[in-house]
Amino acid sequence: MPILTGDLAAFSLQSPDGPLELPMAGKKRDRPSWIRFSGVGVEFALVIGGFAAVGYWIDLHYGCGPWGLVIGAALGLIGGTYNLVRESLTAFQPREPPDRREDKGQRHEP
């Protein structure tokens, strides 16, 4: 009979054939690539929109013309581009085979 053991990051299902890994939400590298990349695109748009909205609020609150909106959109573009490049670089790093990954505190006892 399978026994469920694990910690907060991942669970390991013990079976007679060996441990089965069930990826949890905390492991970004185990998600399919289209999910990761669509998430990066949404984050990119939300960062730009969020900073532009804060800049627009600054324009309305302080009456400083379009400069709050322009500066907010520029900061959002810089931050979103940084996140996009960072995620793209990690996505194209070679992945380790499952048998060579570090055992992060998981016990695999029969």
Quick one: 17 and 62 in the same domain? no
Quick one: 47 and 21 in the same domain? no
Q: Bigger pLDDT: 4 or 64?
A: 64
Mean pLDDT over the full length of the chain = 75
Quick one: 39 and 89 in the same domain? yes
Number of domains in the chain: 2
Quick one: 13 and 40 in the same domain? no
Residue 81 CA neighbour count, 13 Å, CB half:
6
Q: Is residue 56 part of a domain?
A: yes
| 92 pLDDT more than 90 | no
pLDDT tens readout for residues 31-74:
666 777 788 889 999 999 999 999 999 999 998 889 999 999 99
| Residue with token string 């909205």 | 53
Quick one: 50 and 14 in the same domain? no
Residue 16 CA neighbour count, 13 Å, CB half:
1
Q: Is residue 69 part of a domain?
A: yes
What are the backbone dihedrals phi and psi of residue 12, each rounded to the nearest 5 degrees, phi first? -120, 125
Task: Tell me what the mean pLDDT of segment 10-24 comes to.
Answer: 54
For residue 44, what are its two tokens?
Answer: 């990119």
**pTM of the predicted structure, to 2 decimals:** 0.56
For residue 41, what are its two tokens?
Answer: 């695109």
pLDDT for 62 equals: 93
Q: Is residue 71 part of a domain?
A: yes
Quick one: 38 and 88 in the same domain? yes
Q: Which residues form the domain of 67? A: 31-93
With contact defined as beta carbons under 8 Å apart, do 87 and 36 qualify? yes
Q: Is residue 102 part of a domain?
A: no
Quick one: 10 and 60 in the same domain? no
pLDDT for 101 equals: 56
Quick one: 66 and 78 in the same domain? yes
